[in-house]
Amino acid sequence: MPNVTLALRGYGWGRIPGAAYMLAVLAVGFAASSNGFLNGANLANIGMQSTILLLLALPMTLIILTEGIDLSMGAVLTLACVMLAAIAVKTGSVALALAGALALGAAFGFANGALVAWLGLPSFVTTLGTLGIASGLALVMTNAQSITGLDDNVVFFYSGRLAGVPMPLLVGAAAYLCTHWLLYQTRFGTYVFALGGNREALRLAGVRTNAYLIGVYVFGGAMAGLAALLLTARMSAAHPTAAIGMEFDAIAAVAIGGTSFEKGNGWLFGTVLGVLLIGVLRNGLNLLAVASSLQVVAIGVLIIAALLIESFRGRV
Amino acid sequence: MTALTLPRLTLSGELKAIGHRLLAVVVLCVVLSFLSGAFFTTGNILNVLRQAALIFLLASGLTLVILTAGLDLSVGANAGLSACLAASVMLATGSALLGAGVGIASGCVIGLGNGLLVTALRLPPFIATYGTLWVIHGLTYWFMAGATIHGFPPAFRALGSGYWLSVPIPVYLMFGFLALGIGFARYTTWGQEIYAIGANPVAARLSGIPVNRRLALVYTVSGAMAGLASLIFLARLNSAEGDIGEPLTLPAIAAVLIGGTSLFGGVGTVTGTLAGALILTLVLNGMNLLAIDANWQPLVTGTIVILAVALDVLTRGRAGANR
């Protein structure tokens, strides 16, 4: 996998996060305790399910690198699903529906970014507020009912294949490569690290920090809009509370992946490991018939374990 | 240790400090009584006070947390789990007192857990409590397994729906804890140390304040208040479900922020939080009276949160601080 070595070159082997070890331990553990875990179909399933989370966790990494957070992502994803399904059902056009979802996500991202950058509001309370707005809008728009009756051309984006590869895996790989390029190969990416590491220096160097900061949040919102296509396709419906709380998994993936909440310290591929770890954990616990409510508790424990490992290695 | 120079406000001074918020309460009342004939009735006013009491109890502990420049996003989830535990204990033993004890104890334990995450693990408070939010939420759903618990002893139900001298009992609790909160924040050393930690944690530590212990205390108090509020909520609903605490977090945070407590710490009052709880309740009550769909409520509360934070940031000139 060439992009892995590329990612590692950008960061160095010395900083493999605890997630890699935990992933190995979990995979071996589940393979030993459950028959269904280690077969091709199940592993592909983990990859497909993880893609939706990956689409949130990638931009969340960038946002956290700027010392911000976006708690509204799950709610915006939910609202984007509602928007996408409503347009798809009414017009029958997937392109139009996706455009609507992307625009909606980007608009929420812009609102978050503008409040954080221009007004200097703390990101976590701002996005908590937009969380309320987005989840409220999703309920109001649907009257708390699900939207169903989607065409196969929407469902294709989750269960279809292109050249034999499941669509979600293609979308996920493309999203990772694009984000990787943005973060490590462009000026935008360099500024993302600097926004968290030393924003004042960046501003004094004449960079329009506010524009870049808003850009990070807009990127996050747009990715939530893209994730809406996969999530709606997966459920072949849009539920008004479909992805509420999914930002928790995304933040967990970023934290487990070894990105720090301070000073712009982080590693994009670590987030991929974190996403896989959560995917494997949820899948394995499902196979062991552990209630999904307890899976959240397990993720919480995982985060604390990851933070403890990092702090023992002396780099929190 | 060095004396802290916090102005020791009298009650009238305290009222003066939140004067424009009380004015907002009055204006809201006048506007609402013009908009709806049903507003200015004894029944509705008592209803508003009872609703405000619930939000205030939850928000009063949270005020102390925010005064230290922290945040407790888990208050709603905490109240949810505490209510469910209290409900099941009450159902099993038939004892209202035991149930109430368990509810408050569970709130305390969760609060202490938050405090340890913030102090021992040195996690940013909003990350730590956001994590506990979902962990507690998961535990609650697992514990309840989709069941609904109802049918509590009448003595317990009086806590939420009872009256004394034709005033709802939660209202007495509200004013009781207001007095307690003012007394603690203004007239005790620990209270003043909390302001000092919020204003400047490094200076607080250097002047000998045991910052970590005070922080643990503050999160535990916030948890305990969530436990207490959960009992009142439970007594009023007279039934417990897994999602009972979900709609409580955003209003509690909104009440604190409307009340003028700064997210950056060191500035704010418990009295302000009472005014904030009243303002928020009046808005939501007005929406009810005007027959606006309840689905709009998170949207309105979210908008109010953003407006309150914007006001906080713009009036304090703290623009540029990102968290």
What residues contact residue A201 under an 8 Å CB cut-off, 6+ apart?
A194
pLDDT at A49: 86
Q: How far is CA A248 from CA A57, A299, B128, B163, in A?
A: 10, 9, 11, 41
pLDDT at B13: 66
pLDDT at A147: 87
| Chain A neighbors of B127, CB-CB under 8 A | 69, 251, 255, 261
A165 touches chain B (CB under 8 A): no
Residue B282 has pLDDT above 60, yes or no: yes
The listed range with the strongest mean pLDDT (A34-43, A96-105, B129-138, B301-310) is A96-105
Amino acid present at B26: V
Of the candidates B138, B263, B297, which has its C-beta nearest A296's C-beta? B138
Q: If residue A36 lies in a helix (H) or strand (E), which one and from where to where?
A: none
Residue with tokens 């916030």: B222
Rounded-to-integer distance, Cα A157 and Cα A163, Å: 13
Among A77-86, A302-311, B1-10, whose mean pLDDT is lowest?
Answer: B1-10
pLDDT at A37: 82
Q: Judge whether A74 and A246 are in contact, CB under 8 Å.
A: yes
Among A54-58, A257-261, B4-8, B77-81, whose mean pLDDT is lowest?
Answer: B4-8
Percent of chain B scoring above 90 in pLDDT: 39
A67-82 pLDDT, tens per residue?
A: 999 999 999 999 999 9
pLDDT at B10: 62
- The separation between CA A242 and the C-alpha centre of its own chain, rounded to angstroms, equals 15
Residue A299 has pLDDT above 90, yes or no: no
pLDDT at A218: 97
pLDDT at A8: 45
Q: If residue B183 lies in a helix (H) or strand (E), which one and from where to where?
A: helix B169-187
Looking at residue A252, which CATH number applies to its domain? 1.10.3470
A63 touches chain B (CB under 8 A): no
| Chain B neighbors of A131, CB-CB under 8 A | 302
pLDDT at B102: 95
Q: Judge whether A256 and A307 are in contact, CB under 8 Å.
A: no
Rounded-to-integer distance, Cα A220 and Cα A264, Å: 17
DSSP secondary structure string, B43-79?
Answer: HHHHHHHHHHHHHHHHHHHHHHHHHTT---TTHHHHH
pLDDT mean over B65-70: 93
Cβ–Cβ pairs < 8 A, chains A and B:
140
Inter-chain touch B135–A297, beta carbons under 8 Å: yes
- If you average pLDDT over every residue of chain B, what do you get? 87
Instruction: Name the nearest CA neighbour of B58 among B323, B296, B270.
Output: B270
Inter-chain touch B322–A126, beta carbons under 8 Å: no
Inter-chain touch B130–A248, beta carbons under 8 Å: yes
- If you average pLDDT over every residue of chain A, what do you get? 86
The pTM of this model reads 0.86
Task: Give the up-direction half-sphere exposure of residue A206: CA atoms within 13 A in the CB hemisphere.
Answer: 0
| Chain B neighbors of A128, CB-CB under 8 A | 73, 250, 253, 302, 305
pLDDT at A14: 54
B78-100 pLDDT, tens per residue?
A: 999 999 999 999 988 888 899 99
Range of the domain at A224: 2-312
| A252 token code pair | 């967990």
Inter-chain touch B126–A69, beta carbons under 8 Å: yes
Residue A10 has pLDDT above 80, yes or no: no
B141-155 pLDDT, tens per residue?
A: 999 888 888 888 888
Instruction: Name the nearest CA neighbour of A255 among A18, A70, A29.
Output: A18
The domain tally of chain A equals 1
Inter-chain touch A120–B71, beta carbons under 8 Å: no
A198-239 pLDDT, tens per residue?
A: 888 888 888 888 999 999 999 999 999 999 999 999 988 888
B24-48 pLDDT, tens per residue?
A: 888 888 888 888 888 888 888 898 9
pLDDT mean over A268-273: 90
A123 touches chain B (CB under 8 A): yes
The 10 Å Cβ neighbour count of residue A4 is 10
pLDDT at A167: 85
A4 touches chain B (CB under 8 A): no
Inter-chain touch B130–A307, beta carbons under 8 Å: no
Of the candidates A120, A136, A296, which has its C-beta nearest B135's C-beta? A296
Residue B4 has pLDDT above 70, yes or no: no
Rounded-to-integer distance, Cα A237 and Cα B310, Å: 37
Residue B63 has pLDDT above 90, yes or no: yes
| A135 token code pair | 């989840």
Of the candidates B145, B318, B322, which has its C-beta nearest A116's C-beta? B322
Rounded-to-integer distance, Cα A251 and Cα A274, Å: 10
Percent of chain A scoring above 70 in pLDDT: 92
A263 min Cα distance to partner chain B (Å): 12
Q: Exposed, middle or buried by CB within 10 Å (0-12, 13-18, 19+), for B170?
A: buried
Inter-chain touch B126–A293, beta carbons under 8 Å: no
